[in-house]
Structures are given as structure tokens and as C-alpha cells.
Amino acid sequence: MKIAFIAHDNKKDDIVRFVTAYEPVFIQHELYSTGNTGKRIMEHTKLQICRFNSGPLGGDQEIGSLIAKNLMDIVFFFRDPLTAQPHEPDISALIRLCDVYSIPLATNMGTAEILVHGLNRGDLHWRDIIHEKNLDTVKDNEWKKK
């Protein structure tokens, strides 16, 4: 599974603790993150994470691009609902894309706990079917070009 981690500044400590607690689960997957969040997670774990720009510099949009191509399976986005974010439209767009493409999204610790336990149990293998359908579509489109 391809998993993205994003956290607002006031939530970075929370996401680091969360990912550290579930490192044995996450190490089995392909991990992505916005810049500073990924850096912090890698400093505290042995996980390798593909890092994009920080959120305000377009990292949210880079992850959104993968979602729009149905190439992201889960998003853990620890949001700070009490602090105004200068890039709020980007945040809203990312959340909207998760809804459009049915990407499981956890925006707080409670939902993240449920999602990671589902991931560990194999409850999200339906995403593999989505990937197979995407490959079939790509193959069909390549055949039509010939």
C-alpha cells in the first residue's frame, strides 16, 4: 500500500508518536510525506519516506496529484483545527480528492488508530483491486493507440 503522512505544525509531535508506535506496520508499505513531516518521522524511526515539498510550498498538492491518479491508498493527515492555515484551499482540495477517489483519510488520532488496525488486519486489500483495474485501463489505452 502507498501511504501518505501529513501534519500541521502543532500536530507533528502527534504523528511522529503515532508512526513510531506502528512502525512495524508501516515498514511493510511504500511511504510518502510532505517535507518537514517526513523528515521528523525519519529522524525518529527507521522508515524510508519519499518526501515532497512542505505543505505550504505545494506538498499537499503533490500528494493530491497521486490521489487524482489513484496511486495513493491511505492518507494520515493530522490537522490542527484550531489554527488558521495560509494554504487552506490546498488542504480542502486534498480532502476533496480523498472523497472523490474513496481514499481512506484519517485527520485525527482516533480515526488513525482505527485505520492502522484495519491496514494491519488486511481490511484495505480492496485497494489492490483498484490498482488492478487501473493497470487494465492503461493496457486498454495502450492497445487502442496501436
Name the residue range of residue 43's domain: 2-145
Residue-level pLDDT at 138: 47
The model's confidence at residue 129, banded by pLDDT at 50, 70 and 90, is confident
**Does the active-site annotation cover 60?**
yes
85 DSSP assignment: -
Cβ(117)–Cβ(23) under 8 Å?
Answer: no
Range of lowest pLDDT (3-12, 56-65, 111-120): 56-65
CATH number, domain with residue 139: 3.40.50.1380
Higher pLDDT, 139 or 25: 25
The model's confidence at residue 130, banded by pLDDT at 50, 70 and 90, is confident
Please report where in the chains the cell 493497470 appears, as a residue.
135
Residues 67-116 have pLDDT tens digits of: 999 899 999 999 998 888 877 888 899 999 999 999 999 999 999 999 99
Q: What percent of the chain has pLDDT over 90?
A: 71
Q: What percent of the chain has pLDDT over 70?
A: 90
Is the pLDDT assigned to residue 46 strictly greater than 80?
Answer: yes
Pull the grid cell for residue 127: 485497494
Count the domains in the chain: 1
Q: What angle do CA 78, 131, 115 make, to 5 degrees?
A: 30
Distance CA 35, CA 55 (A): 7
Helix H or strand E encompassing 72: none
Is the pLDDT assigned to residue 133 strictly greater than 70?
Answer: no
Q: What angle do CA 128, 65, 73 make, to 5 degrees?
A: 25
Average pLDDT over residues 46-51: 97
Question: Which position among 9, 14, 60, 99 bears the catalytic label?
Answer: 60
